[in-house]
Every structure is written in structure tokens, then in C-alpha cells.
A and B are shown apart, each in its own frame.
Chain A
Amino acid sequence: MVFEEVTAVWNQFNLTERTIEHLWMFSVSLVISVILGVTLGILLYRHRNYAEPALNGLNALETFPDMALLVLLIPIAGIGEIPTIIACIIYSLLPVTRNTYTGLISVRPEILETGTAIGLTGGEIDRNIRIPVSLPMIAGGIRIAIVFTMGIVTLGGIIGAGGLGAPLQTGIVLLLPEVIIVTGLWVGILAVIFDGCAGLIEKRLTVRYGEW
């Protein structure tokens, strides 16, 4: 019974296709956020004077309401996938950047000094000690970014981005509770699965590289 209704909704609203769109936007956003965030984090670590203002700026962006951000992006980036991905990146940048930066600067000085004392160069210390030891922290930032990105991608349905936000939007506008429930639950399940996987990775990294 329930299964048949779910299948009906699933087929009627092309949820397979929507899921693929959804995950595509999610992946693209996340990959770009991680690359940008980690790069920015490393840059801020190298130029520490800029860290405070840059992180404050990202913090300010973070407090901006997501709906408003999407609407504001329309004149600049139009509607659809592109502004949705941009919004995802803007929100995910802070956790990834901040955790990368914090991870890099908070490696215990004694460990780094031991590296120097046994004869590692600065670059060798970064590659062999600083970055590996910060990995759990960076993974924690990426995990937060995953949750943010999942939410914003869904919201992208409002501005015609496709993905699972689209049927959800339709359900809300046309008052179709079964669509809202099926799609909503599915988005929720996806979010939980991704967060769970990220959590697992984070935990493994902590066991592998973390301080004990």
C-alpha cells in the first residue's frame, strides 16, 4: 500500500532524475567549496594578518538568510543551477576555511619543534606533520559543509534549479502532502547518509592522525 503510493509519487515526479540532478549540484558545490576553502585556509595560515578580517567577512556572509541570498543572486547569476551552486559555496566556505586555518595553526608547537630539531625543513614539516595532523579538523569542517550544501541545494528548487527541491516546491504550491512527505523524507535520508559517511571518515582520520 504505502510502497505503491511512494512508487507512484516517485515515478510521477521523476524522483530518480531529480535525485541525480540533486546529487550533481551537491557534488559540484561540495568539491568547489572544499578546494576553495582548503586553499583559502592555507593562504590565511600563510598570511596570518588577514585571517581575522577574512574569517569575520565569511562569518558575516554566513549570517545572511539563505532565501534572501538566493533572491539577491538572481540579478547577478540568474536562476537555476548556477546561483544555487554559488549559494552553496558561499555558505560552505566558512566552515571549511575556518577549520583548515584552525587545524593548521593549532598543531602543538612541540611537535613542530621536534620536526625542526630532527632536521626537517619548513616545507617537509608542513607536508609530513602539519597537514596530516590537521586532517581531522579539516574533515570536521567538510562535514559541516555537507549538511549546509544539502540544505541549500534543496532550497534551489525555489529558483528553478531542479533537484529534489523542485518536486518539494510543487508539493508546497499545489498542496500535495504525499509529495512533500516522500520527497522531504528522501532528502532527509540522503542528508543523514552523507553526514553519517562524513562522520565516519572524520572519525577514522581522528583515529589515524589525531592527537592522543
Chain B
Amino acid sequence: MTSLRPFEKINRIEISHLSKTYGDVTAVSDVSLDVIGGELMVLIGGSGSGKTTTLRMINRLIEPDSGSVKINGTNIRDFDEVNLRRNIGYVIQQIGLFSHMNVHDNIGLIPTVEGWGKERIDAQVSKLLEMVDLPPEIFSARYPRELSGGQQQRVGLARALAMNPSLFLMDEPFGALDPILRKQLQEEFLSIKNDIGRTIIFVTHDIDEAFKLGDRIGIMHEGELVQVGTPEELIFHPKNDHVAHLVEANRKYRHIESFTVQDLMSPLSKRHFFDAAVPVSEALDKILSGTCGTAVVMRDGGLQGTTSRHEIVRNRNQDLVMGDIAKPPVTMAPDDAAVPALQEMKRKNASSALVLNRDGEVSGILIPDSVLFHII
């Protein structure tokens, strides 16, 4: 029988106040989380943190004691559970391929029970195998035991894609693979993910994997969702020691590739802004009391340039105004990648760079010294 799809596209998944206890053990405690359509949300935590239980409450493998999950505003209890699961791609660590079925039948199982015709199933299986880089003419007839671990995992991924679901639940899908293979599959997965553009909830205990794949990361600990945020938010504003420890905040430099200028810039207070007409001698007091050695010189409400504390001090006795000693600054946009930005500063031998937003307003300043403070 062919069933109607419960949802075509995910706009929002609202998880609210989910709780689940087993006897005295609280598996999940009052977890609330909004997943936005199209994002890859990673749930990370140690064993027993409740991440897998939370995941399995989304496809109703586990029914919560309290709380609800809504997909596009509809409570998942109002969906037929079989129909719900058929429209959610599910990939787990143990892969879960059926060893008595060949690759074709594994991938085509749900289409078969959904009553698709043979040609349609064959076409879909071939398409999906191509997608995961397994030539169908070689792999269709093979049994799972005749595949390597990585190939099995790809078949698992292809099977999850069989019904063209708009939502994926993945429970440590790369966990059983050796590190090199895992890295390779993560890369492939990222490219597939960008191709298919679907909503994914991904459970892992590997922080590097979380940082690599996740648009946002939810940190779970002892059944609670401790903090949700982008990798940068978690690194710079960990809510507690546990989060800081987990994201290895003391080793942030490992993740410097993922930073943007915005993450590393410092705010610039009003006292560092000077009108071009202000005499240098007058600016001296203000700049000496400030923490930042850069002065921004404005003319007619627009940016004229910057100068340094050093220049101000050197010219304090000359009869000059700030406009005279201002030089055109190195500028960058808040969402520029941090590493190339710093490299450019190094090349230009600039002691600071102004971060300008789209309207040309100064939103902060990038100072190599304080960058170091940010990342250590």
C-alpha cells in the first residue's frame, strides 16, 4: 500500500519538555530543542547522556513519559508511526543491514512494501547506489558480508535515502569505522548533505565530528540538554565547566579553521573613536586610559582611518589633529574566515584591523594579541 507522506519538507521540529525515565534512571530530563528545517543538528554527549534516547523519541521507537515532539506543528503522535518512520531516514552505528538480503533488496525493502513497481525500485536503487559511489552493476547483487565496513555504511545511507525522506536521524553512523575511513566518510557525507539539503539530527560522542558536521550542536549531559549553539558559541561562551571541558575550550586553537573574524574580534568602545578635528594632544589622555591601542578617526560621520597609541604618543607635542596622523586601515567583514584575515594582517604588517559591517560601520577590531587570548 502506498501511504501519504506525513511531511514533504521540514520547516521546524519542536521538541518540548521531553522526559523519559526507566525505573529510577532518568534517561532524558525535560529536553526542549527547536530544530530548524535544513540544518544539521548534532546531539553530543557521553554514554548515558540521553542523546540516543532523545533521537529515538523522534521516530517513536521510544514513547516519552512526558513532553512532545512536533514536526511542522503536528504532534508526531498524530502520525501513523509506520508511516512516520518510512519518511524518516534512519542510520545507526551497527549499520543494521539485513544480512539475508542483498544490497538491492536492503535498499528496496521499504519501497517494496510500499508497493512500488519493480522498475521504479530498480531505478531508485541504482540512483542511490550511484549517489553513495557504489556502482550498481557491481554492488546490487552483493550481500552485506561481501562488503567492507565503509561500503556497508554507504549502503546503510542509501537505504535511509530510499523513500526520499526530508528528515534524517543518525546515531553515530560512523562510530564503528576506523579513523581514516571515518574521516573520508564524513567528507563524503558533507558533500551528500549539501546536495540533498535535508534536515538531519545526528548523534555522536566525538566532538571533532560534531564540529565538522554540525550547523548547531546540542550538548547533553545526564539526560539534560545543557547548551545548544553553533560551534563558535560553544567555544566562546560555554555555559558551564562541563561544556567548556567537552568542547575543549582550553584547546580552541584546534578549531581555528572554523572561526570567522567576528568570533575573534574585540568590541571597540566609544572612547576609541575620535573626530578628525580633535588635536592629538587632547586624544592622548583618552587613548592612554583605554585598553586598546588603536584609535579610529572619523570625519563627517564617516571613517577616515586609524592610528595607533604609539603614533599619538609620538606626535603628542606636535601641533596636529587626529585627521593628520590617521592612515587607511586594514578592513575586513565580520563573516570573513579568520585564518586568511590574520594572514593578510601579517602580510601587511598591520597591528590591527577594523571590522566593518555591511553598512560600513565599525563593529569591532581585530587585534592579533587579543586573538591569541580568544583562542587559548
> Could you list which residues of chain A lie within 8 angstroms of chain B, going by C-beta atoms?
110-111, 113-121, 124, 128-129, 132-133, 208-212
| CA distance in complex: A88, B85 (Å) | 47
Closest to A133 in B: B100
Is there an interface contact between B59 and A117, defined as CB atoms closer than 8 Å?
A: yes
Binding site for A on B (CB under 8 A): 59, 61, 82-88, 90, 92, 94, 96, 98-101, 109-110, 113, 144-145, 159-160, 163
Q: Note all chain A residues with C-beta closer than 8 A to B88.
A: 119
Q: How far is the CA of A144 from the CA of B94 in the complex (A)?
A: 34
Q: Show 10 A/B contacts (Cβ-Cβ < 8 Å), sorted by A.
A: A113-B61, A114-B92, A117-B61, A117-B92, A118-B109, A119-B82, A120-B109, A120-B113, A209-B99, A209-B100
The 4 closest A-B pairs by CB, nearest first: A119-B86, A114-B96, A119-B85, A209-B100
Shortest CB-to-CB span from A71 to chain B, Å, is 45
* B96, B144, B159 interface centre (most CB from chain A within 10 Å): B96
Q: Please report the C-alpha to C-alpha distance between residue A98 and residue B339 in the assembled complex, in whole angstroms.
A: 68
A117 pairs with B99, CB closer than 8 A: no
Interface contact A124-B94, CB-CB below 8 Å: no
Interface contacts beyond A120-B113, A128-B101, A133-B98: sample of 17 additional A-B pairs, CB < 8 Å, sorted by A: A111-B98, A114-B96, A116-B61, A116-B85, A117-B96, A118-B86, A118-B96, A119-B86, A119-B110, A120-B82, A121-B82, A129-B98, A129-B100, A133-B99, A209-B99, A209-B100, A211-B99
B145 with A212: CB separation less than 8 A = yes
A210 to B98, CA, bound (A): 10
CA distance A110 to B145 in the complex (A): 17
Bound form: Cα–Cα A132–B92 in Å: 22
Selected contact of A111 from candidates B59, B90, B96, B160, CB within 8 Å: B96
Q: How far is the CB of B150 from chain A (nearest CB, A)?
A: 17
Contact A117 B82 (CB under 8 A): no
Asked whether B110 lies within 8 Å of A208 as measured between CB atoms, the reply is no
Interface pair A208/B82, CB less than 8 Å apart: no
Please, which residue of chain B has its CB at the minimum distance from the CB of A114? B96
Closest-CB distance, A137 to chain B (whole angstroms): 12
In the assembly, what is the distance between CA of A113 and CA of B84, in Å?
A: 15
If A117-B85, A120-B113 touch, whether A208 touches B100 (CB-CB below 8 Å) is yes
Contacts of A208 in B (CB 8 A): 100
Residue of A nearest to B85 (CB): A119
Cα(A101)–Cα(B92), bound, Å: 29
Bound together, the chains give a CA A212 to CA B145 distance in angstroms of: 7
Which chain B positions have C-beta within 8 A of A110? 94, 96
For the complex, what is the distance from the CA of A211 to the CA of B88, rounded to whole Å? 27
Q: Are A212 and B61 interface neighbours, CB within 8 A?
A: no
Closest partner residue, chain A, to B96 (CB atom): A114
A residues within 8 A CB of B109? 118, 120, 128
Residues of chain B contacted by A128 (CB below 8 angstroms): 98, 101, 109, 113
Which chain B positions have C-beta within 8 A of A111?
Answer: 96, 98-99
A118 touches B90 (CB 8 A): yes
Among B90, B92, B100, B113, the one with the most A-chain Cβ atoms within 10 Å of its Cβ is B100
Question: Shortest beta-carbon distance, A109 to chain B, in Å?
Answer: 11
Closest to A127 in B: B113
Closest to A211 in B: B99
Closest to A205 in B: B100
Quick one: given A128-B109, A212-B145, are A117 and B98 in contact (CB under 8 Å)? no
Given A114-B96, A208-B100: A120 and B61 within 8 A (CB)? no
CA distance A118 to B111 in the complex (A): 11
How close is A210's CB to chain B, nearest CB, in angstroms?
A: 7
Give the chain B neighbours of A209 by CB distance below 8 A: 99-100
Contact B99 A212 (CB under 8 A): yes
Q: In whole Å, how far is B106's beta carbon from the nearest beta carbon of chain A?
A: 10
Chain A contacts for B100, CB-based, 8 A: 129, 132-133, 208-210
Bound state CA distance, A133 and B100, in angstroms? 7
CB distance from B332 to the nearest CB of A (A): 47
Contacts A118-B90, A209-B100: A124 and B113 contacting too (C-beta < 8 A)? yes
* CB < 8 Å neighbour of B85 from A118, A129, A132, A211: A118
Say whether A119 contacts B83, CB under 8 Å: yes
CA distance A118 to B100 in the complex (A): 16
Most buried by A among B84, B110, B144: B110
Give the chain B neighbours of A129 by CB distance below 8 A: 98, 100
